[in-house]
Amino acid sequence: MSDLKIINLVKNFVGMDRPAVNNVNLKINSGELVAFLGPSGCGKTTILKMITGLFAPDNGDIVLDNKSLLPIPTENRGVVMVFQNYLLFPYMNVNENVGFALKMKGIDKNVIEKKVREMLDLVKLPDIGFRKPKQLSGGQQQRVALARALIASPRLLLLDEPLSNLDAHLRDEMRDLIVTIQKKLNVTTIFVTHDQEEAVLLADKIALIFDGELQNYTSPKNYYEQPKNIKAAKFFGGVNFIKSKKINNEFISDIGKINYVGENINDLNDEINITIRPENIKLSKTNDFDHNSFKGNIKSIIFSGTHTRYKIIINNLELECSLQSLGIKNINQGDEIFVHLPKDKIWGMND
């Protein structure tokens, strides 16, 4: 078991007008793959470095398997971090790099060689053991760094921007490999990223961090369907926001009355923002809908291969809609269109 608890964690740096990490609390269950997501400078990597022991927190605690890590030296925590730039030893070959941690522990040479072969097979690099890091591609270096981390059988694996230095096709390949290995070994894993798509595709849960503070900690599905606020919604690609007022359990907006059935209806204030993802909006040339139907005009049509994106103006409010494939036939910019917001696809957020 490798449950991790982060309790009231605070870190300050001289020269900053706010804490780098401000009272962060979360729990990661054994075997979970969790993303720390947020813009550059939000505190993601600082938290990882406090978990490893590279930074000492100014307040709070980090507890692994019901035992505080703070008094334990970095090398004895059972925590391994793979840095963004890999940090492979340039004068060592791949075998030596991967086996370095076991060599430092005085493990028998034959045991090290066997474990190195196992790790290189695991990361699908069985035949490069005698190459130097400079002879490897970026993707290969990333895999070697991962093998070097995993050979120590860590209780907790930390990955700092693991895909940021890779080309697009290598990112897809490496993403699949990380998930496969993580599930096979069942190692509790945290990875840092600023890419919401990467977080959604990889993580069991996402910790969204802005300005050193944890904004929300939930499943990727909830971030898409039930964002906590506009800032979180925008970070996950939200573009449609409709200001509305709650009057007798109805929501009145600039585009008309909106029928709302969200499970959080009793938690909403009198003034809210309603959001809906572009792919959930429905369009029709005629008014075929019995609720949340509004007449507008098409501002633009953009064909992008698998989807066609429409920008539609309704009473000076612009909404964006995305339809699969070629969209609606025989409709052009400037034409009138009916827009339907399915009541089970909209979500209200307090201002």
pLDDT > 90: percent of the chain: 64
Same domain, 220 and 78: yes
Residue 324 has pLDDT above 90, yes or no: no
So what's the pLDDT on residue 1?
A: 59
State pLDDT tens for residues 210-220.
999 999 999 99
Same domain, 111 and 159: yes
Q: What is the pTM of this model?
A: 0.87
- The Cβ of residue 14 has, within 10 Å, a number of other Cβ atoms equal to 4
Q: How far apart are CA 126 and CA 146, in angstroms?
A: 14
Same domain, 69 and 189: yes
So what's the pLDDT on residue 339?
A: 95
Residue 206 has pLDDT above 70, yes or no: yes
Same domain, 137 and 254: no
Same domain, 209 and 247: no
- Structural domains of the chain, count: 2
Q: With both helix axes pointing from N to C terminus, report the angle between 109-122 and 94-104 in degrees, rounded to the nearest 10.
A: 130
Domain that holds residue 88: 4-230
Among 209, 230, 251, where does a domain finish? 230
Among 112-121, 160-169, 239-248, name the one with the lowest average pLDDT: 160-169
Same domain, 249 and 209: no
Same domain, 256 and 211: no
Same domain, 58 and 151: yes
Same domain, 64 and 195: yes
Q: Which CATH number is 143's domain given?
A: 3.40.50.300
Same domain, 75 and 223: yes
Among 197, 230, 263, where does a domain finish? 230
State pLDDT tens for residues 91-106.
999 999 999 989 888 8
Mean pLDDT in residue range 113-136: 91
Among 199, 230, 261, where does a domain finish? 230
Same domain, 256 and 298: yes
So what's the pLDDT on residue 174?
A: 84
Residue 290 has pLDDT above 90, yes or no: no
* Averaged confidence pLDDT in the chain: 91
Q: Which CATH number is 286's domain given?
A: 2.40.50.100
State pLDDT tens for residues 133-167.
999 988 888 889 999 999 989 999 999 988 777 77
Same domain, 244 and 204: no
State pLDDT tens for residues 13-68.
998 899 999 999 999 999 999 999 999 899 999 999 999 999 999 999 999 999 99
